[in-house]
Amino acid sequence: MAKQKSAYVCTDCGTEHGQWQGQCASCEEWNTLSKINLGPVSSPSTAANFKRKGITGSLASVTTLNDINLDELPRITTGIGEFDRVLGGGIVPGSAVLIGGNPGAGKSTLLLQILCKLSQDVKALYVTGEESLQQVAMRAKRLGLPTDKLLMLTETNINEITNVAQEHQPKIMVIDSIQVMHSVDIPSAPGSVSQVRECAAYLVQYAKQTNTAIFLVGHVTKDGNLAGPKVLEHIIDCFMMLEGGDDSRYRTLRGQKNRFGAVNELGVFAMTETGLKEVKNPSAIFLARTEEISPGSLVTVLWEGTRPLLIEIQALVDSSQFGNPRRIAVGLDHNRLAMQLAVLHRHGGLFMADQDVFVNVVGGVRVSETSADLALILAIVSSFKDQALDQNLVVFGEVGLAGEIRPVPNGQQRLQEAVKHGFSRAIVPKANAPKQAIKGMTVIPVSRLSEALAAL
């Protein structure tokens, strides 16, 4: 009989130990080690079992890189363009996709919509461990979804789930959620580090062996990060975050990891009474500006994944009533705001140490790239001087600590997107100035912050 191999894993940080000890050597927490079985150690009986099954020789085959078939994997399109965009063109068979998000963001609703639609053409299985079948059926009925062909299962035992999947052989399977799944081989509670890690690894292995596309729903912590071990993000093929709070009817699906497409791709959805509806022209909803021209408002062009996105940045500068002025940024990096204020003081000659500065990105979009630096500074200057800017003006560019305006990628495509939405003037880095004039657009190239301020 094969000897059983075991290890002791910390339920807080996931560090493995060869033997039990009172304190974890990694996170220094007490009484957090749990024993898990890793499976039998290889023995002659294992080889005999393979021989009885007709498997002889080496268990792994080796090939050269040149002999690998480079035919593109056929993708399964969901019919929702924004979702397919984030995936890189559709669902890849055998892939493992992790979707995280805050409670109430719409993760389960979006996946239920997709599976109900795909079940009309391919076999699909929806596994729910948090809701009853009646609750899921009530939601599907409220959303008006086709439910006649979607297979449903309520189970949290990962072994039972794979047994049912092997019997019905679905092409697409949803696990809602990975935090409530458990394996009988691991003596710890569902949601612990060891349970989440082993259950996810088991499902990923099943996906690769059976060529089944699996979607895992993941919870987030109070800090907004994915709950569970970091290895969970490493073993899956695609990781997406569904962002959006209760105060906004729009949801953004951002790809943070994708082995089959572009990273940081962004999909925009609107939450309606009939579920999540894709927004095919996101720039239009984020540019719903008021007719009244007010200081501190400026439009910039971001590059999200493979397309440009126009957003509005608003700034408000007011005299501080306290000894320590406030710096509040919504949708922007707080540290980058403080840095740009220092650049504005040093190279723009504007002193704001006694002013409260508030900046906001309209629509709930989160800016993660540096191309919004110049627009941020000019919006702050507009509010500080109490002078409104031209509504037909668009600005983008990275601002360095020396006051220089650095170029950004895909400058030509950003300008072309701005022209489509009716903008006629643009302040851009000198290196991003087009070689040929763009019809309907006056481009002002700048290389220093002082030149940008003079262009206003």
- Angle at the Cα of 400 from the Cα atoms of 398 and 404, rounded to 5 degrees: 90
**Is pLDDT above 80 for 247?**
no
pLDDT confidence bin for 409, thresholds 50/70/90 = very high
State yes or no: 211 annotated in a binding site. no
pLDDT at 243 > cutoff 80: yes
State the pTM of this model: 0.77
Q: How far is CA 198 from CA 131, 178, 203, 232, 354, in A?
A: 23, 10, 9, 9, 54
pLDDT reported for residue 203: 95
Q: Give the range among 14-23, 99-108, 149-158, 390-399 with minimum mean pLDDT.
A: 14-23
Cα three-residue angle 341-346-350, rounded to 5 degrees:
65
- pLDDT (tens digit, 9 = 90+) per residue, 281-294? 888 777 766 667 78
**pLDDT for the residue numbered 456:** 81
Predicted pLDDT of residue 44: 42
Q: State the pLDDT confidence band at 1, using cuts at 50, 70 and 90.
A: very low
Q: Is 104 known to sit in a ligand binding site? A: yes
CATH of segment(s) 74-280: 3.40.50.300
Per-residue confidence at 84, pLDDT binned at 50, 70, 90? Answer: very high
* pLDDT (mean) for 283-311: 84
- Tell me if 129 is assigned to a ligand binding site: no
* Residue 400 pLDDT class (50, 70, 90 cuts): very high
107 is in an annotated binding site: yes
Sign for the pseudo-dihedral over CA of 274, 278, 280, 283:
positive
Banded pLDDT at 194 (limits 50, 70, 90): confident
Amino acid 306: pLDDT = 84
Which of 28-37, 221-230, 284-293, 350-359 bottoms out in mean pLDDT, i.e. has the lowest? 284-293
> Residue written as tokens 């073993």?
235
Longest dimension (CA), the chain: 84
Q: Is 106 annotated as a binding residue?
A: yes
Q: Pick 16 or 266 by higher pLDDT.
A: 266
pLDDT of amino acid 7? 78
What pLDDT digit, counting tens, does each position of 38-48 carry?
655 444 444 44
Using pLDDT thresholds of 50, 70 and 90, give the confidence band for residue 187.
confident
Q: Is 207 annotated as contributing to ligand binding? A: no
Domains 74-280 and 287-455 share a fold: no
In this prediction, residue 188 has a pLDDT band, given cuts at 50, 70 and 90, of confident
Q: Is the pLDDT of residue 182 over 80?
A: yes
**What residue type is assigned to position 425 of the chain?**
R
Confidence band (pLDDT; 50, 70, 90) for 60? Answer: low
Write down the CATH number for the domain with range 287-455. Answer: 3.30.230.10
Q: Is 403 annotated as a binding residue?
A: no
More confident residue, 28 or 89: 89
Domain range list for the chain: 4-52, 74-280, 287-455
H-type alpha helices, 157-306: 158-168, 193-210, 231-235, 282-286
For residues 291-298, average pLDDT: 85
